[in-house]
């Protein structure tokens, strides 16, 4: 089942529900990207929700007034790119999603996700915010990490991949024969597939690096890899792509990716990731 485009921002205190204030802060926070933000639907008396227009995308903010159940939040998958455990203590949450989640196609979906993430970032930068849960990849991360990744967006074309995708390592075999692969979750909504790097003898951190670079490229470019294509890698390696209807970890179709060592005669022909 495809997850909705939404982020939950967890906090230790009640959120500020001033729609005009949040809209202004979104515009100021991302002014360097040319972002325009204004109130689309103001909250009514007693209502803990409102909608903003962020670069033409209608984003709904809903304040639940209650935490996620402890037995659920403590079992949420965390971001492997973080060096420390994500704090899970909170008393309130704000759900940031689309007013109407009916977007289709790579560009429209990426644009909508970008608007949601920008609003979530402003909420995550409040003093009491503890964590952010990104639903498309079902991943929990600290509010500090989330804000740091969003801070790295210097250009309107940048994609905050570090808060959008989740890596799930898995093993094949055991003992000295054990080989490790990596599944990348959170891409299905954007390119119609997740990624699965087949187990290999390569170090896991090297495989994750290749998986991140490939994911970031695809988030920006869209579903451009066909069955049988080769891409990326390095001067001595390529990544061979196969379309599979379902992954070992992902319930969605995947780009099964195999890192192959090039024959010396082919090494000069292969280019790295292109823009």
Model pLDDT, residue 274: 45
User: Is 250 buried (19+), middle (13-18) or exposed (0-12) by CB count in 10 A?
Assistant: buried
Q: Which residue has the higher pLDDT, 89 or 23?
A: 23
Residues 6+ apart with CB under 8 A from 215: 161, 165, 184, 187, 195
* Contact yes or no for 116/5 (Cβ under 8 A): yes
The token pair that represents 94 in the structure block: 């704000």
By percentage, how much of the chain surpasses pLDDT 70?
A: 90
The mean pLDDT value for 6-28 works out to 89
Dihedral in degrees, nearest 10, Cα atoms 218, 222, 225, 227: 120
The token pair that represents 205 in the structure block: 């951190």
* Contact yes or no for 92/11 (Cβ under 8 A): yes
pLDDT tens sequence across 174-205: 666 678 999 999 999 999 999 999 999 889 99
Dihedral in degrees, nearest 10, Cα atoms 243, 248, 250, 254: -10
User: Is 122 buried (19+), middle (13-18) or exposed (0-12) by CB count in 10 A?
Assistant: buried
Find the helix packing angle between 106-124 and 143-151, rounded to 10°.
120
Model pLDDT, residue 71: 80
Model pLDDT, residue 272: 47
Model pLDDT, residue 83: 82
Q: What's the whole-model pTM score?
A: 0.90
Largest distance between two CA atoms of the chain: 71
Classify 73 in phi/psi space as left (phi over 0), alpha (psi -120 to 50) or beta. alpha
Residues 6+ apart with CB under 8 A from 110: 159, 190, 219
User: In the structure, what pLDDT confidence band is assigned to residue 76 with cuts at 50, 70 and 90?
Assistant: confident
pLDDT tens sequence across 32-42: 999 999 999 98
* Contact yes or no for 272/234 (Cβ under 8 A): yes
The answer on pLDDT for 115 being more than 80 is: yes
User: In the structure, what pLDDT confidence band is assigned to residue 275 with cuts at 50, 70 and 90?
Assistant: very low
Model pLDDT, residue 39: 95
The mean pLDDT value for 33-53 works out to 88
User: In the structure, what pLDDT confidence band is assigned to residue 233 with cuts at 50, 70 and 90?
Assistant: low
Q: Which of 67-71, 188-192, 243-247 has the lowest mean pLDDT?
A: 67-71
pLDDT tens sequence across 125-141: 988 899 999 999 999 99
The answer on pLDDT for 259 being more than 80 is: yes
Q: Which 3 state secondary structure label does DSSP give 142? A: strand
The answer on pLDDT for 10 being more than 50 is: yes
């Amino acid at each position: 089942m495809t997850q909705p485009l939404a982020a939950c921002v967890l906090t230790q205190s009640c959120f500020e529900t001033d729609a005009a204030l949040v809209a202004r802060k979104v515009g100021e926070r991302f002014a360097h990207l040319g972002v325009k933000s204004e109130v689309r639907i103001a909250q009514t008396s007693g209502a803990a929700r409102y909608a903003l227009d962020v670069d033409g995308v209608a984003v709904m903010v809903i304040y639940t007034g209650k935490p996620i159940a402890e037995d659920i939040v403590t079992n949420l998958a965390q971001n492997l790119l973080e060096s420390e455990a994500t704090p899970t203590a909170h008393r309130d949450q704000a759900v940031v999603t689309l007013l109407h989640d009916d977007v289709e196609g790579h560009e429209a979906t990426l644009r909508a996700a970008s608007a949601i993430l920008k609003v979530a970032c402003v909420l995550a930068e409040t003093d009491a915010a503890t964590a952010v849960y990104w639903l498309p990849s079902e991943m929990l991360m600290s509010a500090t990490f989330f804000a740091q990744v969003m801070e790295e967006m210097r250009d309107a074309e940048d994609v905050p991949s570090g808060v959008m995708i989740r890596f799930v390592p898995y093993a094949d075999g055991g003992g000295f024969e054990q080989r490790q692969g990596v599944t990348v979750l959170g891409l299905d909504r954007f390119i119609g597939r997740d990624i699965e790097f087949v187990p290999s003898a390569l170090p896991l951190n090297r495989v994750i690096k290749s998986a991140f670079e490939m994911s970031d490229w695809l988030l920006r470019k869209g579903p451009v890899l066909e069955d049988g294509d080769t891409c990326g890698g390095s001067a001595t390696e390529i990544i061979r792509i196969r379309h599979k209807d379902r992954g070992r970890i992902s319930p969605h179709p995947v780009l099964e990716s195999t890192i192959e060592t090039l024959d010396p005669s082919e090494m000069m022909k292969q280019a790295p990731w292109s823009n």
